[in-house]
Amino acid sequence: MAIPVPTTTAKPEAEDFPPDVPVAHLHTIDLGKLQAGDAAEAQQLFEASRTTGAFYLDLRSEESDILPVLEDIGLVSKELFGLPLEEKCAYDVDKLTSRKCNGYKPVGRNYGGLAGQRDGFETYVIPKNGILGLNNQADFPRPPVITAALPTLHALTTAINSAAQTITHHLSQTLALPPAHNLKYKHQITTPSQDIIRLLKYQPQPASKQILIPHAAHTDMGSLTFLFTCQPGLQIQCPGEGEEKGDWEWVRPPREGHAIVNLGDSLSLLTNGVLRSCVHRVGQLPNRAMPTRYSFAYMVRPADHIVMVAPRTERIPATEPGVPVLTCEEWIERKYSVLRLKERPLGLEWMMTGQQQCGAQNV
């Protein structure tokens, strides 16, 4: 049976997405218009980042080098996950690095949404620092399939970081951030950081009236996640009123030449909650079986030393007194410490779902 390759050029069939489920109506942002300095497009970017924390990104700009490498990344993912389990586990992410930036995670290791099974997906993460040879990490441990793909991984890393620079610069301009606090300077490609390319393979799930959730609700710990998939399954949680949680809505797979981009904790913390960290999860469509699902993402994160505090501007309120100041490195380490727990303590649930990022970081 052919394994679907996650690229933005694949067109999902309309009948694969039920017409009677709640659908997220995301903004579509044109990367080419942002690159050209279009003020209206920059304002739409801000509105999407302030409200849902997610949007479709049109990558068909002549200046974008992302689309040409996507199919090759999908083929790398297929080959890597096809390796014997023993060979993949030789690169166990929990043994290779405490920061979870390189290596393989088998099914069932994380706190997850499958009753009695924890999570229902396997992943392989590849570090930006290793791909670009930063901090003398060019010889990072990896299987031969990753070594063979390094030119492609380098091309994706360069292209995504260029797009991220455009996005963070426009958000900084709209927020009237002082030049020294421009978000693009906190995400320089030449600065070592915990950016990763994350390959994912979800196990098939049987049809069920109850939605099975192989990837539990969470927010991403970084700044921007560029997700590439041609299969349904992603859900985002709408903003709720006060402390109430919002409803879940399904995200249609991106149209041809598009990616899904969502904001993570870092951009929310760096703007004191003005920008929204998107709560999301992956599940199977109601009353339908979930086939084996492949996707991959590039996760942009600030440099380790960046202090996660926001300057006050006319659009960013002052930080509440007593809120602890964390570096990006400290934030990521604390979040991973919760991710690997067997149970999710109520006092720390906010750290995974982003409900109280600003004003409640004292764990």
Nearest partner of 198 among 279, 137, 262, 253, judged by Cα: 262
Nearest partner of 334 among 310, 360, 316, judged by Cα: 360
69 lies in a domain? yes
Predicted TM-score of the model (pTM): 0.89
Domains identified in the chain, total number: 1
4 lies in a domain? no
Identify the pLDDT of residue 112.
Answer: 64
Alpha-carbon distance of 179 to 196, in angstroms, equals: 27
Identify the pLDDT of residue 111.
Answer: 66
5 lies in a domain? no
Nearest partner of 261 among 211, 291, 222, 307, judged by Cα: 222
358 lies in a domain? no
Strand 248-250's sheet: what is its strand order?
A: 215-218, 280-282, 234-237, 248-250
- CATH number of the domain encompassing residue 163: 2.60.120.330
Identify the pLDDT of residue 351.
Answer: 53
326 lies in a domain? yes
149 lies in a domain? yes
Identify the pLDDT of residue 100.
Answer: 82
Task: Domain of residue 225: give its range.
Answer: 14-353
362 lies in a domain? no
CA angle 270, 272, 273 (to 5 degrees): 105
CA angle 45, 213, 248 (to 5 degrees): 40
Identify the pLDDT of residue 85.
Answer: 96
pLDDT by residue, tens only, the chain of 363 residues: 333 444 444 444 444 677 788 999 999 999 999 999 999 999 999 999 999 999 999 999 877 789 999 999 999 999 999 999 999 999 999 899 877 899 999 987 776 666 556 778 899 999 999 999 999 999 999 999 999 999 999 999 999 999 999 999 999 999 999 999 999 999 999 999 999 999 999 888 888 766 677 777 889 989 999 999 988 889 999 876 655 678 899 999 998 899 999 999 999 999 999 999 999 998 888 888 888 889 999 999 999 899 988 888 889 988 887 777 889 888 888 777 766 555 555 555 555 555 444 433 332
144 lies in a domain? yes
